[in-house]
């Protein structure tokens, strides 16, 4: 029963009137997503489960002619995390990806007991089940051997041994899926486990983003014990009886030997720091030339070509197309290599097995902040660039942890903000410029700690501190093809979804800058101060009077900084009609203009006003691309709430800094 040759089967479409849906269920690190990527290739899309921030990948498995759904990894259908809730709901036919016709449960041979436990829970949901047996090579190295045929005979359902990393067994699994789908009514069910409280993942639970998904009583514990009894019975038949003393020899593996070195504090911490530093370099030094190249190609070369092609039309048309829409497209595409590099790096860390070790090493420090050990990755990357840092939040296994970390990432001071600090520090604190810039980074770290603590005590009270228990997968060689596929799908998702928001917003900004509010100017040929944009900046400026920079040049620069912090300095130079400094630490005429302006608006305390401006730049909305990615990952509600909170916090802190600073 373990191997099914392709047979004469009815097509699923003919049987159901639609393409059958097959869900993959398994614990984290079982190889589920690897199987999904191998089966669907790039024919997949990543969406959030309805009403949640939990990602679901769906795609077409051509070989089996079914729609394949990659459900979040789950140890149990009695959920303790929003991710597990989505899986439990989907198996039980509630919400999620819609009706599921067949569940393929992946059994990790190295963790066969708990894998069978999960299978037992799925089996009681009364849905056709197939079993894919993975990690046999790793298990064999640890002295654990499971025969797929013996297991299939015991369970009463097809069991196909596969290796998602190499693709071995996938054709047999596809054929078995196709056979099962062709005769759903006659599909065998798993023999054995009695229907329990866990049956059908009947735990109602709150929404998948909701707080308390843990619900435990004696009945559930008893159910679990009963299910484990069934698991032990199965194992006794497929593995042979447990020795009288219950002890099976533990083989010392290559991973054990590596861990013996890598987990020692005096080795593990430096290695973790080195990995973090490499990632930091990746999102700053390595990505910058790629981003510049894309920008040059799209906005320079291609923009010039488009402008030439549109030369017969009114100026505002080519201006809108090139400086509005195409500039937006250029921004999105220039971020694509950065995102791609980060997705590859994170996937390499995850796939190799190192990420779990990094979480263990960092756990004590991150727990002091109330965060999971894995949050160290996005928070460190955030100091390079917030956008890929959000991408790195996907390594967190808990949706609420992802959300909390994603809300803290914008408070990490990215390198784009550094240009503003350096310029203002050089102008207003020439003798202590380094200290001023360092102070911004110190404030950034304090804000992450402070706001993180505040959120944990308010909106995220449900994130109880749980015992740290993390499965350490065996070290393995990363599979480059699977990583490339996964990276391509995620970058594509960023470009199409976050990109739409970026292009639309930049187009609106162009329109605001092109529309004159005073006479004597033509459309798209108007100085900033006479445009709708300048008019809005002038209207906004008084809001910053308590912070000491009530001036439209400053507010216009902050509005532009909403799009990207890299252009704040350029925006100031443009509005003051001076040359943008090549080196922000040598601001030249711009420095003179800024000093005169801030001296006027601050009532003689320009240093305090400059410091307040720097603090505002640190805290308020990071950039449009980060916002768009937040909206894609966490939804519009959380994103708008974050924007509002950041603006209020930035204003309050800026006012505080100025009011205290001018007294000193």
Partner 1 sequence: MDLSRCAVGAATRIVDVDVEPGMRRRLGELGLRPGAVVQVTQDVRRQGRVLAVGAERFALDVRTCTLIAVEPVGAAEPALEQAARA
Is 461 near partner 1 (CB under 8 A)?
no
Token pair listed for 326:
């195409």
Least separation in angstroms between residue 360's CB and partner 1 is: 4
Length of the chain: 664
Is 78 near partner 1 (CB under 8 A)?
yes
Binding range to partner 1, per CB under 8 A, among 46-54, 254-262, 340-348, 398-406: 254-262
How many whole angstroms separate alpha carbon 598 and alpha carbon 601?
Answer: 5
Is 254 near partner 1 (CB under 8 A)?
no
Secondary structure of 552-575 as H, E, C letters: HHHHHHHHHHHHCHHHHHHHHHHH
Strand partners, 61: 66
How many whole angstroms separate alpha carbon 366 and alpha carbon 369?
Answer: 5
Least separation in angstroms between residue 658's CB and partner 1 is: 44
Residues 6+ apart with CB under 8 A from 531: 512, 513, 514, 515, 516, 517
Give CA 6 to chain center in angstroms: 39
Options 5, 8, 458, 469; binder of partner 1; rule CB under 8 A: 469
How many whole angstroms separate alpha carbon 11 and alpha carbon 28?
Answer: 32
Binding range to partner 1, per CB under 8 A, among 352-360, 478-486, 574-582, 588-596: 352-360
Is 114 near partner 1 (CB under 8 A)?
yes
Is 237 near partner 1 (CB under 8 A)?
no
Least separation in angstroms between residue 75's CB and partner 1 is: 5
Is 259 near partner 1 (CB under 8 A)?
yes
Residues 6+ apart with CB under 8 A from 640: none
Options 228, 280, 302, 488; binder of partner 1; rule CB under 8 A: 228
Least separation in angstroms between residue 151's CB and partner 1 is: 15
Q: Which residue lies nearer to partner 1 by CB, 81 or 444?
A: 81
Options 220, 492, 497, 595; binder of partner 1; rule CB under 8 A: 220
Binding-residue pattern over the window 119 to 138 for partner 1, x denoting contact by CB under 8 A: -------------------x
How many whole angstroms separate alpha carbon 260 and alpha carbon 125?
Answer: 42
Options 467, 477, 519, 663; binder of partner 1; rule CB under 8 A: 467
Contacts of residues 600-606 at CB distance under 8 Å and 24 or more positions apart, as own/partner, are 600/551, 601/545, 601/548, 601/549, 601/550, 601/551, 601/554, 602/548, 602/549, 602/658, 602/662, 603/548, 603/662, 605/548, 605/658, 605/661, 605/662, 606/428
Residues 556-595 that bind partner 1 (CB under 8 A): none
How many whole angstroms separate alpha carbon 155 and alpha carbon 41?
Answer: 31
How many whole angstroms separate alpha carbon 580 and alpha carbon 593?
Answer: 12
Binding-residue pattern over the window 485 to 524 for partner 1, x denoting contact by CB under 8 A: ----------------------------------------
Residues 267-296 that bind partner 1 (CB under 8 A): 268
Is 472 near partner 1 (CB under 8 A)?
yes
Q: Which chain residues interact with partner 1 by CB under 8 A? A: 75-76, 78, 80, 109-114, 117, 138-139, 142-144, 214-217, 220-221, 224-225, 228, 245-252, 255-257, 259-260, 263-265, 268, 356-357, 360-361, 363-364, 367, 466-472, 474
């Amino acid at each position: 029963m373990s191997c099914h040759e392709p047979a004469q089967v009815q097509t699923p479409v003919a049987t159901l009137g639609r393409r059958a849906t097959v869900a993959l269920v398994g614990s984290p690190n079982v190889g589920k997503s690897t199987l999904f990527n191998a089966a669907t290739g790039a024919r997949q899309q990543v969406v959030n489960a309805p009403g949640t921030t939990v990602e679901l990948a769906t795609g077409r498995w051509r070989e089996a002619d079914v729609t394949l759904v990659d459900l979040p990894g789950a140890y149990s259908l009695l959920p303790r995390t929003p991710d597990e809730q989505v899986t439990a709901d989907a198996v039980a036919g509630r919400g999620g990806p819609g009706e599921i016709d067949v569940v393929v449960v992946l059994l990790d041979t190295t963790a066969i007991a708990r894998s069978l436990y999960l299978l037992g829970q799925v089996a009681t949901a009364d849905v056709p089940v197939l079993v894919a047996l993975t990690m046999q090579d790793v298990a064999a190295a640890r002295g654990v051997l499971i025969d797929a045929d013996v297991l299939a005979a015991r369970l009463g359902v097809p069991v196909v041994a596969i290796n998602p990393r190499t693709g071995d067994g996938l054709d047999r699994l596809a054929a078995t899926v196709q056979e099962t789908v062709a005769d759903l009514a006659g599909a065998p069910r798993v023999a054995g486990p009695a229907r329990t409280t866990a049956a059908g993942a009947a735990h109602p639970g709150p929404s998948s983003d909701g707080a308390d998904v843990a619900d435990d009583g004696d009945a559930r514990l008893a159910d679990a014990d009963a299910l484990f009894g069934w698991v032990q019975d199965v194992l006794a038949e497929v593995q042979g009886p447990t020795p009288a003393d219950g002890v099976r020899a533990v083989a010392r593996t290559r991973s054990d030997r590596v861990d013996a070195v890598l987990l020692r504090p005096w080795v593990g911490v430096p290695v973790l720091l080195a990995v973090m530093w490499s990632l930091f370099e990746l999102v700053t030094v390595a990505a910058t030339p790629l981003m510049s190249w894309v920008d040059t190609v799209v906005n320079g070369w291609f923009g010039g070509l488009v402008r030439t092609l549109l030369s017969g039309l009114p100026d505002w048309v080519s201006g809108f197309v090139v400086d509005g829409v195409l500039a937006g497209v250029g921004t999105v595409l220039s971020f694509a290599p950065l995102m791609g590099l980060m997705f590859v790096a994170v996937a390499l860390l995850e796939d190799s097995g190192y990420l779990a070790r990094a979480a263990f090493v960092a756990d004590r420090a991150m727990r002091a902040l109330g965060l999971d050990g894995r949050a160290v990755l996005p928070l460190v990357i955030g100091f390079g660039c917030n956008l890929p840092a959000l991408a790195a939040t996907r390594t967190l296994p808990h949706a609420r942890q992802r959300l909390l970390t994603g809300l803290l990432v914008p408070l990490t001071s990215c390198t784009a903000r550094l240009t503003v600090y350096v310029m203002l520090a050089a102008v207003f604190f020439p003798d202590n410029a380094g200290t001023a810039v360092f102070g911004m980074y110190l404030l950034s770290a304090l804000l992450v700690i402070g706001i993180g603590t505040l959120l944990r005590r308010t909106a995220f009270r449900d994130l109880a501190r749980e015992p740290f228990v993390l499965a350490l997968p065996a070290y393995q060689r990363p599979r480059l093809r699977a990583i490339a596929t996964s990276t391509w799908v995620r970058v594509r998702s960023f470009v199409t979804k976050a990109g739409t928001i970026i292009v639309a917003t930049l187009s609106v900004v162009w329109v605001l800058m092109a529309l004159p509010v005073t006479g004597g100017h033509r459309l798209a040929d108007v100085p900033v101060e006479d445009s709708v944009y300048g008019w809005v900046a002038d209207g906004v400026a008084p809001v910053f009077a308590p912070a000491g920079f009530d001036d439209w040049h400053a507010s216009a620069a902050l509005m532009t900084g909403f799009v990207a912090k890299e252009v704040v300095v350029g925006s100031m130079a443009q509005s003051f009609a001076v040359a943008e400094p090549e080196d922000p630490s040598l601001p030249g005429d711009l420095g003179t203009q800024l000093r005169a302006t801030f001296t006027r608006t601050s009532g003689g305390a320009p240093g305090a006003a400059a410091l307040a401006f720097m603090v505002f730049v640190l805290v308020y909305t990071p950039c449009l691309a980060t916002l768009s990615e937040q909206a894609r990952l966490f939804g519009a509600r959380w994103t708008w709430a974050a924007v509002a909170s950041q603006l209020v916090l930035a204003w309050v802190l800026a006012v505080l800094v100025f009011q205290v600073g001018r007294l000193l």
